[in-house]
Amino acid sequence: MLYREAGDFKTGYRSDGQTFPIRLDRWGYYALVAVAFLVVPFLINDYWANAVLVPFLIYAIAALGLNILTGYAGQVSLGTGGFMAVGAYAVYKLMTAFPDVSIVIHILLAGGITAIVGMLFGLPSLRIKGFYLAVATLAAQFFLVWLFNKVPWFYNYSASGQITAPERTVLGMAVTGPATSAPAKYLICLCFAFVLAWIARNLTRGMLGRKWMAIRDMDIAAEIIGVNPLTAKLSAFAVSSFFVGIAGALLFSVYLGAAEVGEAFGINKSFLILFMIIIGGLGSIFGSFAGAAFMVLLPVLLKNVLVGGLGWPTDLAAHIELMIVGVLIIAFLIVEPHGLARLWALAKEKLRLWPFPH
């Protein structure tokens, strides 16, 4: 009923190779984008922006970044939090040093700086892989957090070591600082998420993405067929860190407004984003969004249901919430180790054959 393919014919390679080959999917996607850009900004209030949608979009960008590295290129990384911190501190230094340059440019530059740092820490990946690489990137995480705590230049010598985002505007609307309206916050994050997801999708289905996947699936075989592991791995680290850096820059400047490196970008953040891509689905753009939604929205939802709806004590609710999220993660991974994206794909297959399965 839903996924009727009758009459949905492809007559060229171009139409066969598009991102959404099924017409209904495509329409659904257009409708979603239209609602996200044209409807939500008019309905959104402070609570929805700050507690739900803005963190979701920012974490989705970070998950996209890590998914490129871990999901597509097969390089395990536990340094995501540290790389987000690079993005945040880069954008802070740029914002305060060049107040007249547009914040959009600063955020992109912060991504670029993170890409360079990411490539630097990606160098060990040429020699080591798997668990060993995970430990090397973990070192990056600890080193970067220590660095931003230790060197006062990074936080402009402020007394408390915190960084605070000053007000910056895009097209005359404040997007950082306390006076930012909810729609402005949401729209800037949405624009970045939309464009970056589009870039990620096209990178991963192009030559670069195929090289990454070849390296992931079997690096020796990939090398024999002519994939240069050096460029493939380092490009994966660079692109991934670029995404993660932008997520960090947005997290600090648009969402939080002030940050303290140990807390905002600690090891927990690395784990959180790793969980997102594992639950969402490794090697999938949709999975990055689904995983981010799962990890960001579920705790808020549970909190509102348990405390707001049922009136439980807050500490009991907080503990139960941890347990529920934990159990759900385990349950999901047992039922479908390939994550939410695979569940969604299976549901689609079923619907396409409905009502006549084989």
Partner 1 sequence: MKTLKFAALVAAGLMAAAPALADLVVPNLSYRTGPYGANGTQYADGFNDYFTLLNERDGGIGGEKVQVPECETAYNTEKGVECYESTKGSGALVYNPLSTGITYQLIPKVGVDKIPLYTPGYGRTSAKNGKVFEWVFNAPTNYWDAASVAVKHFLDLNNGSLEGKKIALVYHNSAFGKEPIRTLQELSAKHGFTLTELPIEPPGQEQKSQWLQIRRDKPDYVIMWGWGVMNQAAIQEAANIRFPMENFVGVYWSGSEIDVTPVGAGANGYKALTFHGVGMDYPIYDDLKTHVIDPGKASQGGEHVGSVLYSRGMYAAVVISEAIRKAQEIHGTSAITAVQLRDGFEALEISDARLEELGLPDFGPAFTITCDNHGGNGMARIQQWDAEGKTWSLITEFTEPDAEVLDPLILEDSEAYAKEAAITPRDCAS
Binding site for partner 1 (CB under 8 A): 45-48, 50-52, 55, 96, 149, 158-162, 164, 166-167, 177-179, 256-260, 262-264, 297, 300-301, 303-305, 307-309, 313-315, 317-319
| Residue placing its CB nearer to partner 1 in the complex, 167 or 336 | 167
| Residue placing its CB nearer to partner 1 in the complex, 73 or 256 | 256
| Residue placing its CB nearer to partner 1 in the complex, 301 or 331 | 301
What minimum distance in Å lies between the beta carbon of 112 and partner 1?
25
What minimum distance in Å lies between the beta carbon of 296 and partner 1?
10
| Residue placing its CB nearer to partner 1 in the complex, 19 or 304 | 304
| Residue placing its CB nearer to partner 1 in the complex, 94 or 227 | 94
What minimum distance in Å lies between the beta carbon of 304 and partner 1?
5
| Residue placing its CB nearer to partner 1 in the complex, 213 or 261 | 261
What minimum distance in Å lies between the beta carbon of 121 and partner 1?
21
What minimum distance in Å lies between the beta carbon of 180 and partner 1?
9
| Residue placing its CB nearer to partner 1 in the complex, 101 or 258 | 258
Tokens of 36: 């996200």
Beta strands 169-170 and 258-259: pairing type? unpaired
What minimum distance in Å lies between the beta carbon of 147 and partner 1?
13
Q: What is the CA radius of gyration of the chain?
A: 21
| Residue placing its CB nearer to partner 1 in the complex, 191 or 300 | 300
| Residue placing its CB nearer to partner 1 in the complex, 223 or 260 | 260
Closest by CA to 262, choosing from 85, 99, 113, 22, is 85
Closest by CA to 91, choosing from 77, 74, 103, 79, is 103
What minimum distance in Å lies between the beta carbon of 249 and partner 1?
16
CA angle 181–198–30, rounded 5-degree value: 75
For 24-41, b/e burial (b = at least 16 CB within 10 A) is beeeeeeeeeeebeeebb
What minimum distance in Å lies between the beta carbon of 5 and partner 1?
21
What minimum distance in Å lies between the beta carbon of 339 and partner 1?
20
* Three-state SS annotation for the chain: CCCCCCCCCCCCHHHHCCCCCCHHHHHHHHHHHHHHHHHHHHHCCHHHHHHHHHHHHHHHHHHHHHHHHHHHCCCCCCCHHHHHHHHHHHHHHHHHHCCCCCHHHHHHHHHHHHHHHHHHHHHHHHCCCCHHHHHHHHHHHHHHHHHHHHCHHHHCCCCCCCEECCCCEECCEECCCCCCCHHHHHHHHHHHHHHHHHHHHHHHCCHHHHHHHHHHHCHHHHHHCCCCHHHHHHHHHHHHHHHHHHHHHHHHHHHHCEECHHHHCCHHHHHHHHHHHHHHCCCCHHHHHHHHHHHHHHHHHHHHHHHHHCCCCHHHHHHHHHHHHHHHHHHHHHHCCCHHHHHHHHHHHHHHHCCCCC
| Residue placing its CB nearer to partner 1 in the complex, 51 or 134 | 51
What minimum distance in Å lies between the beta carbon of 316 and partner 1?
9
